[in-house]
Every structure is written in structure tokens, then in C-alpha cells.
Amino acid sequence: MDWKLLPHPRFAGPKGPVVLAILDGVGVGRGDEADAVKLAATPTLDRLAVPGLRTTLRAHGTAVGLPSDDDMGNSEVGHNALGCGRIHAQGALLVNRAIESGALFEGEVWRAAVERAARGGALHFLGLLSDGNVHSNIAHLEAMLRAAARAGAGRLYVHALLDGRDVPPTSAPIYVDRLEAVLAELRASGKDARIASGGGRMFVTMDRYESDWGIVERGWRAHVLGDGRRFASTSAAIEAFRAERPGVLDQDLPPFVIADGDRPVAPIADGDAVIMFNFRGDRAIEISRAFDDDDFDKFDRVRRPDVLYAGMMEYDGDLHVPRRFLVTPPSIEHTMGEILARNGVTQLAISETQKYGHVTYFWNGNRSGMFDDGLETYVEIPSDRVPFEQRPWMKAAEITDRLIDELRTGRHRLARVNYANGDMVGHTGSFDATVVAVETVDLQLARLARAVEELEGILVVTADHGNADEMYQHAKDGKVQRHKQTGEPVIRTSHSLNPVPLLIHDPARAGAAPYEIDGDRAAAAGIANVTATVLELMGHAAPADLEPSLLRFR
């Protein structure tokens, strides 16, 4: 592979740095009452939307390697696409293919897990119970349950993490009922097949970036130790929690353990096998480490059962987490970060904890480390540990403080920054807080734009997917759905299918830039095209294997 970057034949790049600002979850919506982005005061975004240097890009479905254009984009695949500049088949599509072809069930790890269950151990499935197709898909779980039963596994248990984030916020009963129907089918064939434990994804098991190991510990205690509030069924647990905490969303439900009388149905025990059926890595790594790591010190595991643990995919290709997995993840090489590092170009990546891994790990093609620690600087600003709707400003100001300080050192030719507010606050379903989140980011963008202007650089603004732009559900006729009893809008907490902005701010050439965005090319483009576009703005000829740049030079 040829790694050498050639100079652009018509543009030498700016005197100062090129800064790529990713406004996480800030899409371009319909401009109606559901659109917190449109209803927020965003004078900076408005000012930067210069004709000829603005467009919108697709950030979902096939444009980011997902199975269909009905699939929402997400931060993982979005940053993969932005970082590598190409479209790779992503987790959901790869797992679909492995199940449809039967390859998953022919693999060594799957056979070893089923063999344990056939010898009398239990086969446990742990993961997010929904069809959001962002972290997991219930259809994958159903296929594996049925295949394991056919292969002779007699004891099949599910540890169900409830979603309400990538799907409607109180939709858990729909997925629980769907799963219970499959489990009843298996019990009718003589299997012991039940839900064993669970809880809301944002409170149990699915932490990421080591933001709060207490989330993982709560999951461990419920899934492995059978330690938690006990109920006769998952439905009973959901009903009880909702009665006690009116308005609670599925994602925030406490841990629960299903019990026969006073005895937990199926704590994970020696001789069992455990399959984490999430295909997305960021929220599966920590629980995988709790099972796999010999020298684990993040919390007291009390006991570590002798199990065969496997992930749906390898969640971290550098650290090889987990040790065993069912489907080989996409091989993403020749990323922007590595191309620039091999050409001696300095880079800065910065965000707060909630999105730090996105501008590092996912950006680099699911690789944890740096390509060249002499050329790269990674900065993590610790996130607050409070509900996001209570601090919608999050750490945007602190990120901008540090980013501007770093830019003024003159060390960084390219900087990439993620502002997490639009996504993390948007997921809470709080409209007013999300408006504040968007306005916060706009204010910090104003500070960043002024710094870029002073340094004679170029600022590029985009997003990885939509979210804050569609805070309420829409009916097929395009109108906002409303509750029949109250007339209030139906809250939406998941990502949108809306496009995202691409804005270029080149203050040194205001009104006289030697380039513009090619409207015809942009009409069919996705966020993978941003990579080549940014390389050209830096003064490099974009490598031929990337999705093409959107710039047309005059």
C-alpha cells in the first residue's frame, strides 16, 4: 500500500491548522416542533452556513455500512466512516451475513460454547434487548437461541439489558414479550429457557470508556452473582419499577434478578458459556474485561466463574477484547490518522470521556493506541457523572478551553474534536435540555471559530448522525405523534435518519476561496466523503482509495 501523501496541485492549504469539529447528534431536521436544533439559538452555525461552502451529508444506512437505509447511523460507524473515508460493512450487516450463511454456527467458538451447554452447563446470552440495530438486534438473539437448542443445549438463559434509547423510550415490554414467545417455544420442546436477569442499559452493565465502573458492577452482581431485587418475571420487574418511579425510561431501570421463589433462576456458574450478543464494541468492552481479565481490579467480583466467554465480535482489535468472539469485525486500515502519521503530520484528538473513544478508537478503525505518539496528542476531558439533562452543557467549555490552548501552541496541523452534547442530552428525551445543549455547542463553536480565524486556519463542521434534530416521533404523514389522552408529543430518544451538516469556514479566503463544494457530488455523498475533503483542505492530494472529496477547485 502506498502511504505517501502528495501535495495538492492547486491548493497549498492554510497557514494555520485545519480543525474538524464533530457536533455529535446534531442533524438537519424538518424545522418543526420536534427539531431542537432548529428551535435553538445558533447564530454561529447560521453564520458559518455560507453558500457554496455548505451542504448536507447522509450519515445513516448504507452510507455508513449498515444493512439498509432504514437503519439509523450511530457514533461508532459514523466515526469509523469519518476516520477512514471509506464505507465498510459494519457489525449489524456482518452478523446478518454470518447468521444467514450459517457461518456463525460453524465457527469454533460457537461450537465450543454449545458443547458446554450440551454437557450440562448453561448457555447464557447477555446483551441489549431491542431491534435498534445500533448495539444489537433481537433477531440475532432469537436465531442463536434456536440454533443452540437444535444443537443440544438444554439450558438457555438471557440476561436482558433494556434499551429505550435506540428505540422508543418505554418500549421494553414489546421486546420482552417477543423474547418470551421464543423462550416459550423452546420450553415446549423440552428446554429450560428463561430470562435470568437484566436492567436498563444506562444503569446496568453497558458503561463505556471507563466512565463509571459501578454500572458494570451492578450488572456483574445481577448476572453472575444473582444479587439484586428479585421478581417472578421481567414484566413484573418493569411494572414495579415504573410504579415506583413514574416517568422512568427503560434505559434507566435498576437491575433485577428473576427468581423461583427466593432462588435466582440462573446465576452464571462454573462450566457455563456466556455470549455477549452486542455487536458494537464500546459498551461491551468493560463487561468483557470483567469476565476475561485475570488481574481485574475495577471492582470486587466476589467470584469469577470458570466460563467460556465470547463476544459477538472482537470489540477491541488492539487489546484483543474479548479473547473469543463469533464474527470477525471489519478490517479498517489506511485510516486518516495513520496516513497522516506516516507522512509526519501532527494531529490532536480531543473530547470528553463520553466521546473520547470516538475520536481515537473508532476514528482509527477500532484501534486503541496511537500510530505515532511523537506526532499525535490525545486529550480526554473527564465527563460529569450526573444525568445529562441536568448538565446539558456537559464539558463543552472545558474542551474548547483546552483545544484553543493546544491550537495556539502551533504543534497541531490537524485537530479533531467531538462535542457530545447533542447526542448525549438528546438521548434523555428532555427537549428543553437538548435546546440548551445545542446552544451550548454553538457558543463554544463561536469561540473556536475566532481562534481558527486568529491562527489563519480552516474550520470544518459536521456531525456523525442526527438526534437532537428529531426529539419527537413522527407519523407516516410527517406530523408529530401525540398521546391520545394528553395531547403531548410522543418523545423520541433514538437517533434520526436525517442528514447532517457540512460547513467549511476559511476566514483567510472569505468570499474568495479557490474552491467550493460540488453540489452534484454532495447530493449523493455521505460522511465518508469528509476525509478526502479535509485532506484537500490541508493541502494534500486525497488518496485514490477514499470516497472522493466534495471540493471543486476554480
Give the residue numbers annotated as catalytic, written as ranges: 75
Amino acid occupying residue 229: R
Distance CA 464, CA 73 (A): 8
Distance CA 162, CA 171 (A): 9
Specify the 3-state DSSP secondary structure of 89.
coil
Phi, then psi, of 182 in degrees rounded to 5: -65, -45
Cis peptide before 499 (omega within 30 of 0): no
Residue appearing with cell numbers 452464571: 268
Distance CA 3, CA 26 (A): 33
Residue appearing with cell numbers 407516516: 476
DSSP letters, 342-391, are HTT--EEEEEEHHHHHIIIIITTTS--S-S-TTTEEEEEEPPPSS-GGGS
Please give the grid coordinates belonging to residue 519: 453540489
CA distance from start to end of the chain: 31
**Taking the mean position of all CA atoms in its chain, how far away is CA 291?**
22
Per the CB < 8 A criterion, the answer to whether 65 and 332 are in contact is no
DSSP letters, 407-442, are HHTT--SEEEEEE-HHHHHHTTT-HHHHHHHHHHHH
Distance CA 427, CA 163 (A): 11
Amino acid occupying residue 433: A
Per the CB < 8 A criterion, the answer to whether 140 and 95 are in contact is yes
Please give the grid coordinates belonging to residue 532: 478526502
Distance CA 355, CA 350 (A): 9
Using CA atoms of 422, 428, 432, 438 in order, give the dihedral in degrees to the nearest 10. Answer: -10
| Alpha helices in 283-347, H assignment, sequence order | 285-292, 336-342
Using CA atoms of 440, 442, 447, 450 in order, give the dihedral in degrees to the nearest 10. Answer: 180
Please give the grid coordinates belonging to residue 46: 447560521
